Each structure stands twice: as C-alpha cells, then as structure tokens.
Amino acid sequence: MTAGPLAAEERVHLDVVNRIKNEAFQNSKVMDHMFQLTDVNGPRLTGSPGYRRAAEWVVKRLTEAGVSGARLEKWGPFGKGWSFSRFSAHMIEPSYQTIIGFPLAWTPGTNGVLVAEPVMAVIRTAADFPKWQGKLRDKIVLIDAPRELKPHEKAALSRYTNDQLSDVFLAPDPAQRGPVRSGTGTPTRSAEEARAYRAKLHTFLKEEGVALVLSAGYAGDGGTVFASSGGTREAKDPVPPPMAAITPEHYNRIARLLDQKVPVKLEFHIEAAFDEQGQDSWNVVGEIPGGKRKDEVVMLGAHLDSWHGGTGATDNAAGSAVMIEAMRILKALNLPLDRTVRIGLWSGEEQGLLGSRAYVKEHFADRETMKTTEEHKRFAAYYNIDNGTGKIRGIYLQGNDMARPIFESWLSPFKDLGATTVSIRNTGGTDHLSFDGVGLPGFQFIQDSVEYGTRTHHSNMDVYDRIQAGDMMQMSAIVASFVYHTAMREELIPRKPLPKPAPRRAEDAKPAPSGGQ
C-alpha cells in the first residue's frame, strides 16, 4: 500500500498540494454546495422539476467560480418525467397512528384523500394472480410478507480498518471468473424477465381495481425506508395503481392486525404528476481551459440525479458537491493547467448510467461498435465519486496496473488523512464504467462506507444531516490534487487495451446499485 521505488519517479508538486489543502480546509465551500443541492433544491429524480432546478443552480455556481462554458448539455431520450408534491399516511382504525413512508417513483397519486381497508395479498409470481382475482377491488394491498425485525448487532457506521484496507489492496484470485466488484447481491430474475413480470403485475393490479399497493421497502427499520421506483419511465409500459413504501414497523403492525381479524382502516393522500413530454434530460458540464495541451482533457464527475425518498445527500449530492468544490479550488488558486479540466455531473445514473453513457458515446466512442473519435485520443483520465460521505481511502485501478506507481505517488501527501490504498480491483455500478467501457482511464475512489448501506442509500434518511463535513473537505482536496497532477503530467495516463465491441443487451439497462462497497 506504500509507494515503491517506481512511484518515486512520478513528480508530485508538493507546493501546489499544500496550497490545495489550505484552500480546501480553510476556505471550504463544500457544505454550502451540499446545502443548496439538498435542503434548497431537494430530491433530483431525472426528468423531474427538482433535477432541472438543481442543474441550473450548478451552472450558476460554476459560472460564479469562474468555470468556462458551464451549461446544460441535452441527451435523450430518457422517458416520462415524474415528481410528487404530497404524501400523508395514517392509520384511522383501530387507533390512530401516523405512518412513515413515501410514494414509489413513476406511480400515480390517489386522486385526493383515499380511505380504504387493507388486505394482505403476498404476490410473488404470476402463479399467485388467480387466488386474488375478484378480492382486491378498492383495497389497499400489502404485497410483501411481513419482515421479522431483530436488534442491530453492529453499529450503523463503519470505516475501513487497516486490515480491511489490506484486503482491498490484494489482487483477486486470478482463477476467479468475471470482474470483481464491490457491490453484492444478484437479482432473482434477469432484467428482461423482471420487466416482463412487472408489466404483468401492474396490468393485473389495475384490472382488479386495487386502490393502493403498499410494500415495506427492500431493507431498513427504525423509520428508515429503502425504496425507489414502482412504475417505469417507459411510455409503453402499463401504469400501476398508486404505490408506496412504508417503514416495516408500521407495515408489520397492519399485518398483525389483519392476521388477528381486527378491522383496519387506512388513509393516504398522494399527489404525483407525470410529464409525458419529458423525453430528454441534461448533464451539467463546464471547464477550465488548459494551456499548452489545451486540446487534451481531464475529467472529474459524479451523478447529480437521485431518488426521491430523501434529498439525495449521500447518493449523490456528496460526490457532486466535491466535484464542484474541486473546480472552485483550482480556480480560486488560479493554478495554470496544461490540459483542459472538465466537470461532468450526470443525470440518469440511477436508471443505468444513462447520462454518462450518452456523453461518452457523443464525445469519445460508441461501445457497441468501439468506433472512437479524435477526442478519445486526447483524453487523459476521468475521476468519479459515488460512495457517499465517506472520506477517500484510496483508488481502484480497474485493472490498470500501469497507473499504480502514478497514483501511489499522488496519494503520498494524503497518507496522514487516511488515503493510502491503490487497489487493482474493479468496482462497479457507477459512472466511471462509461469511460472504462470504451478504453478510457476511468477511476472510482475507495471511500469509507460510513452509513451508506445501513441508513442512507436510496432511503428517506438520505439527507444533509448524514454528511460528514471533514470527510467532504478531505475528498475535495484529494480530487483537486489528482486532477491538477493529471493536467500537468507530461504524458497521458496509461491505458488498457481498447475493449472489444459490446452490443447492447437487456441486462445493460440497469447496473448494480451505485456506490456499492
């Protein structure tokens, strides 16, 4: 994990690193960026007014910092837009209780206040449909089996120990098949099978006259609800009944009452709107022009879009704020840069890296044919943040061993801030893959998970209060330093061989959850 003899040959501008640290730690604006993206602009689901509002704010902030050509760059088609403006949920009988939850994306509202009786109808496959025919009209359907909740044996917060970082540093077993990724879990159905089943389920629920569908989310407890979409952005897909996820404690109470034949009455009021015209979306781009190598480009980026249960703080206003701050630092220090530095904040990441893939296809290469552009030849590197609020502990090489000595040298001034590890391993599910997939050097930093998987990722608790200011400052300094050194290096970052063409498959439509560790 320490820099070896080869790493010592790579120049490190320690005077510039010192200036970057001072600006990042003494004059930081990163938490103000966070406040604006989350508390002011709110959730940023692609295709929603909230996303557009946040993207326009980013353009303004970058322009104020002196970034050139900050703008929205359109790509598409994306599909239907969706947003919600009201959610209230209550148990009315047998006694009153406020219910914690939120609606699922791309599902309709309740057309006013809905008061109805719930029914437990666990539906897992199309084979379950016949048993519920004629029994669900005007009912609130609890579609999941109750989930048993147990006391937590581990703290919600976690940071890498030295032993764990040593494990991340080690190369995977070469006999292991396929890429090694940090994310875990595999779907029970293929992506194509899941879409087909979802369409059948939504059609069945609509035909049966279901008033509302409730789930307990896919994880979480203690008031934390993990959930994302119920319907789809595709105009051709059937629109389901209103759908919502609620905290499992409240879900389980309703289930127990129903099991004991106690009458239950629930009240929901959901206001949601579709934008049938929302066929396109926008990335945010801007740059600091370079000098003697201005036609060569260094990129830094993160996805700006989020889900809607919280305000998208750790996923991924954190990464976006760090990248905005890195650009601000470089401009504030007025550092001369040989190469042009460009920021890209992406939309549609949560639906399958759509924004960054569209950008890469437009500017660099089509991964389906692997036909490259002139810009592809002049591209230096892309750096990404998408693992939440946790400080940087190192960087994944994505199998690019040639970059190891370079990155070991560049990390060396940040060892006392916890950044030590250069790992040969791949990590998946986020926007650096769009660049790596066409043979460009694209990298994701290793970060402490903090509460990413236990509390915030795609949940209603993904809010400003879960952000750690010191970690954000550390990330901003490291990213700014990496970008600076990449811009000033005599040569481009070494590349792996150009991949073979990768014709689009149905499974490509949605990657693993972003930022998995």
| Residue 86 Cα to chain centre, angstroms | 24
Which long-range contacts does 28-31 make (Cβ < 8 Å, 24+ apart)? 28/325, 28/469, 28/472, 28/473, 28/476, 29/325, 29/328, 30/321, 30/322, 30/324, 30/325, 30/469, 30/472, 30/473, 30/476, 31/321, 31/467, 31/469, 31/472
174 assigned to some structural domain = no
Among 252, 275, 298, give the residue marking a domain's end.
Answer: 275
Q: For residue 131, what pLDDT band results from cuts at 50, 70 and 90?
A: very high
From 63-72, 277-286, 333-342, the region with the lowest mean pLDDT: 277-286
- The residue behind tokens 């890429």 is 179
What span, in angstroms and rounded, lies between the C-alpha atoms of 495 and 400?
7
What span, in angstroms and rounded, lies between the C-alpha atoms of 103 and 86?
9
Within this chain, do residues 432 and 445 fall inside the same structural domain, yes or no?
yes
160 assigned to some structural domain = no
Within this chain, do residues 353 and 467 fall inside the same structural domain, yes or no?
yes
H helices of 238-345, in order, are 248-259, 318-332
157 assigned to some structural domain = no
Within this chain, do residues 145 and 48 fall inside the same structural domain, yes or no?
no
Domain count, the chain: 2
223 assigned to some structural domain = yes
Length of the chain in terms of residues written: 517
- Spell out a b/e string for 138-149, using b for 16 or more CB atoms within 10 Å of the CB, else e: ebbbbbbebbee
**Per-residue model confidence as pLDDT tens digits over 479-495:** 999 999 999 999 999 99
Average pLDDT over residues 207-219: 96
Among 275, 292, 324, give the residue marking a domain's end.
Answer: 275
Helix, coil or strand: residue 517: coil
What span, in angstroms and rounded, lies between the C-alpha atoms of 246 and 358?
35
**Given a cut of 90, is residue 106 above it in pLDDT?**
yes
Within this chain, do residues 243 and 340 fall inside the same structural domain, yes or no?
no
Residue-level pLDDT at 362: 97
What span, in angstroms and rounded, lies between the C-alpha atoms of 517 and 515?
6
What span, in angstroms and rounded, lies between the C-alpha atoms of 347 and 344?
10
Among 235, 250, 275, give the residue marking a domain's end.
Answer: 275
**Given a cut of 90, is residue 191 above it in pLDDT?**
no
1 assigned to some structural domain = no
477-to-16, 64, 391, 472, 504 alpha-carbon distances in Å: 11, 20, 11, 9, 37
- Packing angle of the helix pair 404-411, 469-488 (nearest 10 deg): 130
Residue-level pLDDT at 177: 59
57 assigned to some structural domain = yes
Within this chain, do residues 125 and 256 fall inside the same structural domain, yes or no?
yes
From 180-189, 265-274, 402-411, 457-466, the region with the lowest mean pLDDT: 180-189
Residues in contact with 237: Cβ distance below 8 Å, sequence separation at least 6, in sequence order: 195, 198, 199, 202, 231
Please choose, from the candidates 386, 375, 401, the residue with its C-alpha nearest in 3D space to the C-alpha of residue 493: 401
Q: Domain span at residue 233?
A: 81-151+184-275
188 assigned to some structural domain = yes
Within this chain, do residues 72 and 120 fall inside the same structural domain, yes or no?
no
101 assigned to some structural domain = yes
CATH of the domain at 218: 3.50.30.30
Average pLDDT over residues 454-472: 98
Within this chain, do residues 267 and 384 fall inside the same structural domain, yes or no?
no
What span, in angstroms and rounded, lies between the C-alpha atoms of 487 and 378?
12
Within this chain, do residues 88 and 195 fall inside the same structural domain, yes or no?
yes
Residues in contact with 189: Cβ distance below 8 Å, sequence separation at least 6, in sequence order: 197
CATH of the domain at 478: 3.40.630.10
Within this chain, do residues 363 and 291 fall inside the same structural domain, yes or no?
yes
Please choose, from the candidates 477, 484, 478, the residue with its C-alpha nearest in 3D space to the C-alpha of residue 291: 484
Within this chain, do residues 231 and 330 fall inside the same structural domain, yes or no?
no
pTM, entire model: 0.93
Within this chain, do residues 55 and 133 fall inside the same structural domain, yes or no?
no
Within this chain, do residues 384 and 322 fall inside the same structural domain, yes or no?
yes
